[in-house]
């Protein structure tokens, strides 16, 4: 699932390459992802021009000269490509936009779970989940004090809270593990067991991890003026590193699968949490 580092890397790439370029064609190949009728996409996107590309949570927002925005929520398996037309089409390519006759912006979604909306920019807050969810992690208004204030209303394990979009948007399973490792907090610790200093450290760790990971994610998907996003997270320190040495202390990283979620952490660097049954361990 793309999270803030991948989406920020993609956003930065498109802001360098797409701004001011005209859409020459629009082909909807798999209409199930389109929350705007496919004929409207095909007929009204050509001759429009790209402006700035923004991000809200896990949604990319392609501003258009017409005053509209193409909003894409890639969900679990959505991927973006910016390639030459001769580049082989993947089987689950859902949307192809020709760009000024030179490249194609493609949205590929293996499980076709994503959502593509074309709306007026002032209608973006009406998109599903926009208003009901919390602020984006990188929203300048999400200060450390506001982070603490928002946390007061949540109970349960700390990892479950920080991946909850109603608390804050943009953190998924992989980077939650990295944030908690950076903060030296056990993912299964109840929030009520954490001190204010712990929660402040968690906020700073979240921002530090996003700043550290974004350029590394960009290195793995951007090749000159081509974007070919495949999820390569070989730079992560603990997520999906079960059984390997912790890069900080050398102890073996623990990997637990529970509730269809894989969690990786270091029991030495991140002590505490409840006792968990051995059946959960991998």
Residue 139 lies in a domain: no
Per-residue pLDDT at 280: 40
Residue 193 lies in a domain: yes
Residue 251 lies in a domain: yes
Is residue 163 a contact partner of residue 176, using CB atoms and an 8 Å limit?
A: yes
Assess whether 197 and 99 both reside in one domain. no
Assess whether 41 and 122 both reside in one domain. yes
Assess whether 148 and 257 both reside in one domain. yes
Place of tokens 């990892």: 159
Residue 235's alpha-carbon distances to 54, 154, 208, 247, in angstroms, are 25, 31, 15, 11
Of 62, 22, 56, 6, the closest CA to residue 231 belongs to 6
At CA 198, angle to CA 275 and CA 274, rounded to 5? 5
For residue 27, the domain's CATH number is: 3.20.190.10
Per-residue pLDDT at 275: 64
Assess whether 121 and 148 both reside in one domain. no
Place of tokens 């209608």: 123
Residue 131 lies in a domain: no
Assess whether 158 and 51 both reside in one domain. no
Which of these three, 60, 93, 126, is where a domain ends?
A: 126
Assess whether 68 and 149 both reside in one domain. no
Which of these three, 126, 161, 189, is where a domain ends?
A: 126
Residue 31 lies in a domain: yes
Per the structure, how many domains does the chain have?
2
Q: How far apart are CA 70 and CA 81, in angstroms?
A: 16
Assess whether 180 and 111 both reside in one domain. no
Residue span of the structural domain in which 192 resides: 144-280
Assess whether 60 and 168 both reside in one domain. no
Is residue 58 a contact partner of residue 7, using CB atoms and an 8 Å limit?
A: yes
Per-residue pLDDT at 50: 98
Residue 132 lies in a domain: no
Assess whether 148 and 275 both reside in one domain. yes
Assess whether 100 and 14 both reside in one domain. yes
Using CB atoms within 10 Å of the CB of residue 60, give its burial: 0 to 12 exposed, 13 to 18 middle, 19+ buried. buried
Per-residue pLDDT at 164: 96
Give the pLDDT of the chain (282 residues) as one tens digit per residue: 889 999 999 999 999 999 999 999 999 999 999 999 999 999 999 999 999 999 999 999 999 999 999 999 999 899 999 999 999 999 999 999 999 878 999 999 999 999 999 999 999 999 988 888 999 999 999 999 999 999 999 999 999 999 999 999 999 999 999 999 999 999 999 999 999 999 999 999 999 999 999 999 999 999 888 998 777 899 999 999 999 999 999 999 999 998 778 999 999 999 987 665 443 443
**Nearest-10 crossing angle of helices 196-221, 4-17:** 50
Of 42, 41, 74, 44, the closest CA to residue 56 belongs to 74
Residue 134 lies in a domain: no
Is residue 81 a contact partner of residue 229, using CB atoms and an 8 Å limit?
A: yes
Residue 39's alpha-carbon distances to 62, 68, 70, 93, 106, in angstroms, are 19, 16, 15, 17, 17
Task: Answer yes or no: pTM beyond 0.75.
Answer: yes
Q: How far apart are CA 195 and CA 47, in angstroms?
A: 55
For residue 256, the domain's CATH number is: 1.10.8.50
Which of these three, 91, 126, 161, is where a domain ends?
A: 126
Residue 217 lies in a domain: yes
Per-residue pLDDT at 85: 94
Assess whether 98 and 215 both reside in one domain. no
Q: Tokens for 99? A: 């760009």
Assess whether 118 and 155 both reside in one domain. no
């Amino acid at each position: 699932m793309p999270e803030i580092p991948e989406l920020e890397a993609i956003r930065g790439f498109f802001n360098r390459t797409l701004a001011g370029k005209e859409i020459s064609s629009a082909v909807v190949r798999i209409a199930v992802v389109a929350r705007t009728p496919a004929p409207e996409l095909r007929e009204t996107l050509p001759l429009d021009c790209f402006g700035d590309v923004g991000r809200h949570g896990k949604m990319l927002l392609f501003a258009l000269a017409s005053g509209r925005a193409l909003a894409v929520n890639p969900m679990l398996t959505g991927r973006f490509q910016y390639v030459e037309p001769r580049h082989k089409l993947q089987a689950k390519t859902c949307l192809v936009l020709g760009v000024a006759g030179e490249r194609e912006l493609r949205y590929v979604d293996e499980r076709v779970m994503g959502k593509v909306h074309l709306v007026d920019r002032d209608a973006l807050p009406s998109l599903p989940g926009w208003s009901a969810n919390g602020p984006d992690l990188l929203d300048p208004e999400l200060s450390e004090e506001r982070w603490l204030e928002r946390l007061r209303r949540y109970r349960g394990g700390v990892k479950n809270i920080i991946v909850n979009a109603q608390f804050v948007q943009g953190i998924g399973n992989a980077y939650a593990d990295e944030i908690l490792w950076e903060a030296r907090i056990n993912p299964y610790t109840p929030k009520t067991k954490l001190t204010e200093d712990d929660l402040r450290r968690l906020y700073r760790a979240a921002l530090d991890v996003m700043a550290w990971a974004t350029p590394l994610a960009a290195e793995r998907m951007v090749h000159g003026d081509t974007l070919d996003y495949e999820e390569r997270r070989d730079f992560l320190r603990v997520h999906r590193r079960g059984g390997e040495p912790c890069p900080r202390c050398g102890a073996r990283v623990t990997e637990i699968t529970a509730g269809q979620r894989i969690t990786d952490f270091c029991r030495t660097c991140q002590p505490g949490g409840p006792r968990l049954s051995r059946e959960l361990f991998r």
